[in-house]
């Protein structure tokens, strides 16, 4: 069962318990106030003033506890999905930076590709960082792919380790952070990449797309065909400037990463990369913006 379904059931159970507690308290209050007392004491002004507090105070506490429990459950589910929102202050600062430098036209094409360095025969590591001494090994292809998928749940130690490694790599961090920002905004619309049905494209088409080919011949790279989701993203792009800027920034940096990464990938690794949450968000938003038309 999906985590979202568990969260919905828990929220429904919590609401039912809150209603039950409310009804029970009203019944007890009615019994105490009208069942055991009577006469002139009922007209005591102090008693009249205290009745609303005694009756409504516990009810307010019941519903406050219910709302807090639902918010805590929503936060827990977001962490479990690997799509938890970053710190709000950090996100606002990041979005302000994007707004200050946002492009005025469509997504920029990747910069001319530099000749790839020959990979060492002992290890297939990504040449994403300049040749310099590092206190730890370079980020590998497998680690980057795992990081771009984000952790499966709160117990995915391999996923969190790969994510930490990618965030320590200067160029990988740009893509991972941009993907995290976009996934967070998509989740606010109820769009989760695990829910998408994707038609996989052949590795050959991904390679041609990475080399700069566009249009119908490589349109299968945008394997998301859910018209409702695409329409929802298109509407958000038109109405929300921040969402549009974050999406444009993500498309640009993912496109550049793909151009650099493609020479280092086998066909099976391209298939794995295309199935990550990051690649799926690239397909969805790219389809909404007409990137694959």
Number of domains the chain is built from: 2
Q: How far apart are CA 254 and CA 177, in angstroms?
A: 11
> Is residue 110 domain-shared with residue 22, that is, in the same domain?
no
> Is residue 73 domain-shared with residue 141, that is, in the same domain?
no
Q: Is residue 203 part of a domain?
A: yes
Q: Which two tokens stand for residue 10?
A: 């828990």
Q: How far apart are CA 13 and CA 282, in angstroms?
A: 36
Q: Is residue 23 part of a domain?
A: yes
> Is residue 107 domain-shared with residue 248, that is, in the same domain?
yes
The residue from 33, 58, 80 where one domain ends is 80
> Is residue 140 domain-shared with residue 73, that is, in the same domain?
no
> Is residue 246 domain-shared with residue 105, that is, in the same domain?
yes
Among 220, 225, 224, which residue's Cα sits nearest to residue 206? 220
- pTM for the complete prediction? 0.55
> Is residue 60 domain-shared with residue 142, that is, in the same domain?
no
Return the residue matching tokens 């690794």: 269
pLDDT of residue 54: 74
Q: How distant, in Å, are the alpha carbons of 14, 23, 64, 227 from that of 19? A: 9, 6, 12, 39
Q: How distant, in Å, are the alpha carbons of 10, 224, 232 from that of 241? A: 35, 23, 15
> Is residue 21 domain-shared with residue 97, that is, in the same domain?
no
Domain that holds residue 260: 88-114+136-288
- The whole-number mean pLDDT for each consecutive block of 10 residues of the chain, a chain of 293 residues, reads 54 77 82 60 60 77 79 61 47 51 41 44 52 70 94 91 92 93 93 91 94 90 90 93 94 94 93 94 92 85
Among 58, 70, 51, which residue's Cα sits nearest to residue 23? 58
> Is residue 46 domain-shared with residue 188, that is, in the same domain?
no
> Is residue 37 domain-shared with residue 102, that is, in the same domain?
no
Q: Is residue 130 part of a domain?
A: no
Per-residue pLDDT tens for 28-63?
Answer: 877 776 665 554 445 556 666 667 777 787 888 887
pLDDT of residue 42: 53
198 phi and psi angles, rounded to 5 deg: -115, 135
> Is residue 156 domain-shared with residue 173, that is, in the same domain?
yes
> Is residue 160 domain-shared with residue 261, that is, in the same domain?
yes
pLDDT of residue 263: 92
Return the residue matching tokens 């490694």: 165
Q: CA angle, 206 as apex, 237 and 240 as ends, to 5°?
A: 5
> Is residue 110 domain-shared with residue 251, that is, in the same domain?
yes
**What's 224's DSSP letter?**
B
Return the residue matching tokens 């700069």: 212
């Amino acid at each position: 069962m999906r985590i979202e379904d568990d969260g919905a059931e828990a929220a429904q159970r919590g609401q039912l318990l809150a209603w039950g507690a409310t009804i029970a308290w009203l019944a007890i209050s009615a019994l105490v106030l009208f069942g055991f007392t009577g006469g002139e004491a009922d007209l005591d002004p102090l008693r009249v003033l205290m009745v609303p507090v005694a009756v409504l105070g516990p009810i307010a506490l019941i519903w406050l506890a219910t709302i807090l429990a639902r918010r805590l459950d929503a936060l827990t589910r977001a962490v479990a999905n690997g799509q938890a929102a970053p710190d709000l202050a950090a996100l606002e600062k990041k979005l302000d930076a994007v707004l200050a430098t946002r492009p005025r036209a469509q997504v920029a094409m990747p910069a001319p590709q530099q000749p790839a360095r020959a990979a060492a025969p002992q290890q297939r590591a990504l040449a994403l960082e300049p040749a310099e001494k590092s206190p730890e090994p370079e980020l590998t292809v497998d680690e980057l792919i795992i990081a771009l998928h984000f952790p499966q749940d709160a117990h995915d130690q391999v996923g969190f380790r790969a994510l930490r490694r990618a965030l320590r790599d200067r160029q990988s961090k740009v893509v991972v952070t941009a993907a995290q920002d976009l996934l967070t905004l998509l989740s606010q619309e109820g769009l989760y990449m695990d829910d998408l049905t994707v038609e996989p494209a052949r590795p050959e088409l991904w390679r041609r797309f990475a080399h700069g080919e566009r249009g119908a011949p490589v349109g299968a790279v945008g394997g998301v065909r859910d018209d409702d989701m695409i329409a929802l993203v298109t509407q958000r792009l038109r109405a929300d400037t921040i969402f549009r800027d974050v999406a444009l920034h993500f498309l640009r940096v993912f496109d550049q990463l793909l151009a650099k990464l493609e020479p280092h990938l086998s066909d099976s690794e391209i298939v794995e990369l295309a199935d990550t949450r990051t690649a799926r968000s690239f397909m969805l938003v790219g389809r909404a913006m007409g990137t694959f038309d």
